[in-house]
Amino acid sequence: MGALMGGVMRPVFKSRNRSFLVFGIVFLSLVGFVNCTKKGDTGASAQADLQALVLGEFGTMTGPESTFGISTHRGIMMAVEEANASGGIQGKPIKVISLDDQGRSDEAVTAVTKLVTQENVQLILGEVASSRSIAAAPVAQKYKVPMISPSSTNPRVTQVGDFIFRVCFIDPFQGKVMAKFAAQNLKMKTAAILRDIKSDYSVGLADFFAEDFQKMGGKIISDLSYSSGDADFKAQLTAIKLKKPDVLFIPGYYTEVGLIARQARELNYNGVLMGGDGWDSAKLTEIGGKAVVGGYFSSHYSPKSDKPVVQNFVAKYKEKYNGEVPNGLAAMGYDAARVAIAAALKSSTLAPTDLRDAVAQTKDFEGVTGVISLNDERNAVKPAVVLKVMASNDYEYVTTVNP
């Protein structure tokens, strides 16, 4: 992490310079109130001199997946600011230290190491992308600091150990949701898959989709791959088009998905395009244009739900962020932070091991993305929604699928 400038702290989003790993330290109340905190007092007198809660966040704030980190960060900050407005944790404001991993696994490891060993955070929020959560989780586990991934869905993330949690569903479920939607709702018989072999998320979701689609009577007639960062998918798409699949399942992230959709339509492939939560970005339509419109993907929530908890969140978020409709990532960031804060409110010491135990007990927590109960594997079991792409950041809610 040559990019880390001797502890230079920069206000969030003021720096456009990618070379700064540290993108933000956010003081949520009077600086003097929180700037001398050090964690670690787990003694009996902890109640009296309880330290402030310092949350660490690592995310992709720059690079081709930057909307993942930015949206998640907005959700997290909204939750933290709300909590601080109502008194913080035992009267002290919560502080958040956010680091940019630039969408790289090695930087994710470095960021979490720094959060734990230098910033002494008591709990970590992140990452979005499963590969980066899988890379960094062993550091949190080793130092026994709880980590909650808002939205990493690959099963391996929480298998790293008992300090690693997530507040989202996992890919075996997500794959089944889309297989069922393709086979039963759309009555599709044949599918092709185009997976990103560099992404644990993409490879896993492709496999889970294939397994369930076949169980439901569908056929996978082509299963090809690319690597994140690729920009030309014509060879794979030409081969796929020749097989005329009813569906092209693309379990990737929005940048490549946008390009793949565009090139598929340029080659006159007319089947249905489908994918998973990695499509969730306002940039999807910016990159994919008309080609992605009409495509379906599974997601963590719909901002169009009429549930009061959702409408309340959407209204507050729009007010705070210039009218922007919160996507699934923002909702998951908000829920992850709220689960962390709820655990802190139950912990008397705020020591990482106590926070871990409190997080593990999360049950029937009413999140924006559904009711969150963490199971023995530290995963949330909750419904997914299927959305249809209509226009930029505008999705038609199609259906909810329960586990």
Binding site for ligand PHE (CB under 6 A): 68, 128-130, 151-154, 201, 277-278, 280, 328-329
52/257 with CB nearer ligand PHE: 257
Q: Please, what is the minimum distance in Å from the beta carbon of residue 202 to ligand PHE?
A: 8
Distances in Å between the Cα of 108 and the Cα atoms of 223, 300, 352 are 30, 24, 20
277/354 with CB nearer ligand PHE: 277
Contact yes or no for 277/301 (Cβ under 8 A): no
102/154 with CB nearer ligand PHE: 154
Q: Please, what is the minimum distance in Å from the beta carbon of residue 282 to ligand PHE?
A: 12
Rounded CA separation 359/347 (Å): 10
What's the one-letter identity of residue 282?
Answer: A
Residue 341, φ and ψ in degrees, nearest 5: -70, -40
Q: Please, what is the minimum distance in Å from the beta carbon of residue 328 to ligand PHE?
A: 5
Q: Please, what is the minimum distance in Å from the beta carbon of residue 329 to ligand PHE?
A: 5
User: Taking the C-alpha atoms of 293, 298, 303 and 308 in order, what is their torsion angle to the nearest 10 degrees?
Assistant: 150
Rounded CA separation 197/206 (Å): 10
Q: Please, what is the minimum distance in Å from the beta carbon of residue 252 to ligand PHE?
A: 10
Q: Please, what is the minimum distance in Å from the beta carbon of residue 153 to ligand PHE?
A: 4
Rounded CA separation 399/316 (Å): 25
- Residue whose C-beta lies closest to ligand PHE: 201
**Taking the chain, what is the end-to-end CA distance rounded to the nearest angstrom?**
41
20/297 with CB nearer ligand PHE: 297
97/330 with CB nearer ligand PHE: 330
Distances in Å between the Cα of 78 and the Cα atoms of 30, 332, 334 are 18, 12, 7
178/329 with CB nearer ligand PHE: 329
Q: Please, what is the minimum distance in Å from the beta carbon of residue 374 to ligand PHE?
A: 17
127/354 with CB nearer ligand PHE: 127
94/386 with CB nearer ligand PHE: 386
User: Tokens for 206?
Assistant: 């492709």
Q: Please, what is the minimum distance in Å from the beta carbon of residue 52 to ligand PHE?
A: 30
172/278 with CB nearer ligand PHE: 278
Q: Please, what is the minimum distance in Å from the beta carbon of residue 21 to ligand PHE?
A: 21
152/349 with CB nearer ligand PHE: 152
157: which strand partners?
none
Residue 165, φ and ψ in degrees, nearest 5: -125, 165
198/316 with CB nearer ligand PHE: 198
Rounded CA separation 150/165 (Å): 9
Contact yes or no for 296/386 (Cβ under 8 A): yes
